[in-house]
């Protein structure tokens, strides 16, 4: 059964932004936002639109104190005031084109806005490098749960040192609101790339998937589960052919259950694993399910599970397989679809055991795509041909028939049947009133050691015709299986392997 967060306080979100929400309601709403991705998306839509961001530079580059100069002729519009409440008040800057200063960083532009915070592009003056600053929304910073989650993101990401994970340079958890400084990666996200160019080629998909999985393997090695693997959290380093995994905001340190809330859902619905959708405790195999969804999206241009509402998406994840990739992109090889299917098994135990195992598999796949003549498809992803399947079935029949025939022979050899007249089909009569004497009595009284007559066979009439009638069907099946096996000559097997390739 799918468990979901409580009813969303949609009518209270606008009041949270314009400071009209009562203090007693603000705490409960901010705690709800910690867990509900739907409300965070709504809050993002309410917070700013495209026209509002275009005014960012004009508003924040001004050093005028509007509150101290109420008669200023260029007093900002309501939209400008809205933006000033959304972003923290930055220190004035003397650099032309700067939005303001934050410590040693000159803020150059707004990169994006998410449900938990805003991302700024900045210049680190002390080290002369461009960085990205992720800052918690001011209205969320008042909530303790959001601040703890933000701090946990910094710890989780900083613990992972790998070329495919965005590095964290610094964290200021005491600042109001708190922020972290990370490497700036030009080029946008994987989601931006898919939206602009559509589905990717098989080779590029495998190359990107390999780097993502290597980053996940490094995170899992540190005991960290990402829990929000999606194209929007995968950055493409423009011009360097590099992929980096970012945003560990929902990461869960496996040995830290202090922030775990049973029955609550966190993450992006379209890429959740079934166990994550149920609000259960997840392990690294949950990230592998999400990885399969990302590969599916790269190949088809859209997520594997889509519906009108998040709840409907979660139900599909729980009960339905995604539409076959071949039905959307017929040119995609079957073994690629088998790769995605192995990652998106409903039960975690049916998926690959670890990200390291998937890394090895993806390397083999990429080697096959780049050099198909020298590197074959990984064995686990190969599709058996119909003839190979028939051959395996024939061998199974033969083994079963031989086993049955052996059992029958053993039972026949050990049945203590009375003597029979070979010239007649009628068994000799036995007078039960005459007692057995001598050796005959001893033989009838003592069973032969090591012989266990089959009760069912003791009831059979000692008639050879009746016995053969029961064995003939078995022998007939055995002959048919052998005839099927004879069609597989070395030439046919070689042709079959060529057809598979």
Same domain, 196 and 311: yes
- If asked whether residues 131 and 114 sit together in one domain, one would say yes
Structure tokens at 382: 């190969």
> Which pLDDT value is given to residue 88?
55
Cα–Cα distances (Å) from 301 to 85, 293, 306, 399, in that order, read 37, 11, 12, 48
Could you tell me what percentage of the chain is helix, strand and coil, using 3-state DSSP and rounding each to the nearest 5?
50, 10, 40
Residue that is last in its domain, among 166, 182, 198 = 182
211 or 484: which carries more pLDDT confidence? 211
CATH of the domain at 37: 3.30.200.20
Residue 247 counted as domain residue: yes
- At 286-322, the pLDDT tens digits run 999 999 999 999 999 999 999 888 888 989 999 999 9
Query: Same domain, yes or no, for 367 and 405?
Result: no
Quote the pTM value: 0.62
Instruction: Kindly report, residue by residue over 329-386, the tens digit of the pLDDT.
Output: 999 999 999 999 999 999 999 999 999 999 999 999 999 999 999 999 999 898 754 4
Count of domains observed in the chain: 3
Number of alpha helices (DSSP H) and beta strands (DSSP E) in the chain:
21, 10
Q: Write phi, then psi, for 183 (nearest 5 degrees).
A: -65, 140
Residues 172 and 214 in one domain: no
Task: Give yes or no: 440 in active site.
Answer: no
Name the residue with higher pLDDT: 493 or 483.
Answer: 483
Q: What angle do CA 234, 235, 241 make, to 5 degrees?
A: 120
CB hemisphere CA count around 379 (13 angstroms): 0
Q: Could you tell me the two tokens for 164?
A: 């495919």
Are 462 and 317 members of one domain?
Answer: no
Task: Flag whether 439 is in a domain.
Answer: no
348 domain residue, yes or no: yes
Q: Do 173 and 160 belong together in one domain? A: yes
**Cα angle: 54, vertex 48, 311; to 5 degrees:** 140
Q: What does the mean pLDDT of the chain come to?
A: 74
Cα–Cα distance, 406 to 47 (Å, whole number): 79
- 15 with 38, same domain: the answer is yes
**pLDDT for 212-239, tens place per residue?**
999 999 999 999 999 999 999 999 987 6
Structure tokens belonging to residue 33: 């936002």
pLDDT score recorded for residue 491: 61
Give the H/E segment covering residue 51: helix 50-53
CATH code, domain carrying 255? 1.10.510.10
Query: Any bridge partners for residue 225, and if so which?
Result: 252
- Please answer whether residues 222 and 130 qualify as being in contact, where contact means their C-beta atoms are separated by less than 8 angstroms: no
Question: pLDDT: is 433 or 70 the higher one?
Answer: 433
User: Which has more pLDDT, 165 or 240?
Assistant: 165
Cα–Cα distance between 490 and 55 in angstroms, integer? Answer: 75
Same domain assignment for residues 225 and 254: yes
- The reply to whether 175 and 235 lie within a common domain is no
Q: What local confidence, expressed as pLDDT, does residue 212 receive?
A: 97
Examine residue 177 and say whether the peptide bond preceding it is cis (omega within 30 degrees of 0).
yes
Tokens of 281: 């405790």
**Token pair in block for residue 455:** 């009760």
Domain-terminating residue out of 182, 206, 240 = 182
Of 34, 80, 228, 247, which is the active-site residue? Answer: 228
Tokens of 201: 């080629």
Higher-confidence residue of 3 and 193: namely: 193
Alpha helices by DSSP H, 174-309: 190-197, 202-221, 274-277, 284-300
What is the DSSP track for 304-364? S---SSHHHHHHHHHH-PPPPHHHH-TTS-HHHHHHHHHHT-SSGGGS-S-HHHHHHHHHH
Percent of the chain topping pLDDT 90: 31
What residues have CB less than 8 Å from 463, skipping those under 6 apart? 425, 427
- 155 falls in which pLDDT band (50, 70, 90)? confident
Residue 466 has pLDDT above 50, yes or no: no
Residue 275 domain boundaries:
190-381
Taking a C-beta distance cutoff of 8 angstroms, is the pair 225, 254 a contact? yes
Whether the CB-CB separation of 295 and 340 falls below 8 Å is answered with: yes
Burial level of 327, CB count in 10 A (0-12/13-18/19+)? exposed
| 93 lies in some domain | yes
Kindly state whether residues 404 and 307 are assigned to the same domain: no
């Amino acid at each position: 059964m799918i468990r979901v967060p409580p009813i969303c306080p949609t009518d209270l979100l606008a009041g949270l932004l314009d400071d009209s929400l009562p203090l007693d309601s603000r705490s409960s709403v901010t705690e709800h936002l910690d867990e509900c991705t739907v409300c965070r998306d709504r809050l993002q839509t309410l917070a700013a639109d495209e026209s509002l961001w275009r005014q960012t530079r004009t508003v924040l580059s001004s050093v005028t104190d509007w509150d101290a100069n109420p008669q200023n002729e260029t007093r900002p519009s309501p939209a400008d005031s809205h933006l000033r409440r959304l972003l923290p008040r930055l220190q004035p800057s003397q650099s032309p084109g700067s939005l303001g200063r934050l410590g040693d960083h000159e803020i150059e532009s707004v990169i994006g806005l998410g449900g938990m915070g805003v991302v700024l592009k900045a210049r680190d003056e002390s080290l002369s490098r461009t960085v990205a600053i992720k800052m918690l929304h001011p209205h969320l910073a008042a909530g303790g749960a959001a601040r703890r989650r933000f701090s946990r993101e910094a710890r989780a990401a900083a613990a992972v040192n790998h070329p495919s994970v965005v590095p964290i340079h610094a964290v200021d958890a005491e600042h109001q609101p708190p922020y972290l400084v990370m490497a700036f990666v030009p080029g946008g996200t994987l989601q931006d790339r898919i939206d602009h160019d559509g589905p990717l080629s098989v080779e590029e998909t495998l190359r990107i998937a390999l780097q993502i999985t290597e980053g996940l393997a490094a995170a899992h090695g540190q005991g960290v589960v990402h829990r929000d693997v999606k194209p929007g959290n995968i950055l493409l380093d423009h011009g360097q052919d590099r992929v980096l995994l970012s945003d560990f905001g929902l990461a869960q340190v496996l040995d830290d259950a202090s922030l775990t809330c049973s029955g609550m859902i966190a993450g992006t619905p379209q890429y959740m694993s079934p166990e994550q959708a149920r609000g259960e405790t997840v392990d690294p195999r949950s990230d592998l399910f999400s990885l399969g969804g990302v590969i599916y999206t790269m190949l088809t241009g859209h997520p594997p599970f889509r519906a009108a509402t998040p709840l409907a998406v979660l139900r599909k994840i729980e009960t339905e397989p995604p539409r076959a990739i071949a039905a959307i992109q017929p040119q995609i090889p079957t073994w690629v679809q088998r790769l995605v299917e192995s990652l998106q098994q409903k039960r975690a135990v049916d998926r690959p055991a670890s990200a390291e195992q998937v890394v090895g598999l993806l390397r083999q796949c990429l080697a096959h795509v780049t050099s198909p003549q020298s590197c074959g498809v990984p064995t686990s992803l190969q599709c058996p041909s119909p003839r190979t399947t028939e051959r395996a079935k024939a061998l199974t029949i033969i083994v079963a028939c031989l086993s049955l025939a052996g059992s029958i022979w053993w039972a026949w050899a050990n049945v203590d049947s009375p003597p029979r007249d070979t010239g007649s089909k009628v068994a000799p009569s036995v007078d039960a009133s005459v007692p057995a004497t001598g050796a005959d009595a001893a033989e009838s009284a003592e069973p032969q050691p090591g012989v266990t007559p089959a009760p069912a066979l003791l009831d059979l009439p000692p008639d050879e015709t009746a016995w053969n009638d029961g064995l003939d069907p078995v022998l007939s099946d055995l002959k048919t299986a052998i005839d099927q096996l004879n069609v597989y000559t070395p030439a046919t097997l070689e042709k079959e392997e060529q057809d598979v390739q």
